[in-house]
Amino acid sequence: MKHAVTVHEAWQVFAAAKVKLRSQQQPNHPVCVRYWTIGLTEEGRKLLVVWERKRALLNLITAFEPNLKQEAFYAFEKKNQRAKG
C-alpha cells in the first residue's frame, strides 16, 4: 500500500471499526460503493482506511494518516450515526 502503511495495519483498522462511512468522494462505479473509517492499529497508529464492497468481496483501496479536517468530519458523522440509533 502507499503512504507507508502495510496491508496488515489497514485490515486491523477495518476489522476494529465500529463506524464505517460512505465516501463523499464516490467515483462513478455502479457495481460497488466506497466507504472509509478512521481507527487505530494495534500499535496505536491512527489511520484512515478507504475500502469498497463489491458483492461479497471487500477491497482495500488505500490507507493513510488522516488530517484534522478528515478527523473532525469523521467524529461529526460518527456522533450523528449514534444519535440515529
In a domain, 72, yes or no: yes
Strand partners, 62: 50
CB 49 within 8 A of CB 39: yes
In a domain, 2, yes or no: no
The x, y and z cell numbers of residue 6, run together, are 502495510
The x, y and z cell numbers of residue 18, run together, are 465500529
pLDDT, residue 29, reads: 57
pLDDT, residue 52, reads: 87
Domain count, the chain: 1
Sign for the pseudo-dihedral over CA of 16, 22, 23, 28? positive
In a domain, 1, yes or no: no
| pTM for this model (two decimals) | 0.79
Which of 13, 51, 57 has the alpha carbon at shortest distance from 34? 51
pLDDT tens track, the chain, 85 positions: 567 899 999 999 999 987 777 776 655 655 677 888 999 999 999 999 998 888 788 889 999 999 999 999 888 888 887 777 6
In a domain, 58, yes or no: yes
In a domain, 55, yes or no: yes
**What CA–CA distance (Å, rounded) separates 72 from 78?**
10
Question: Which residues form the domain of 66?
Answer: 7-84
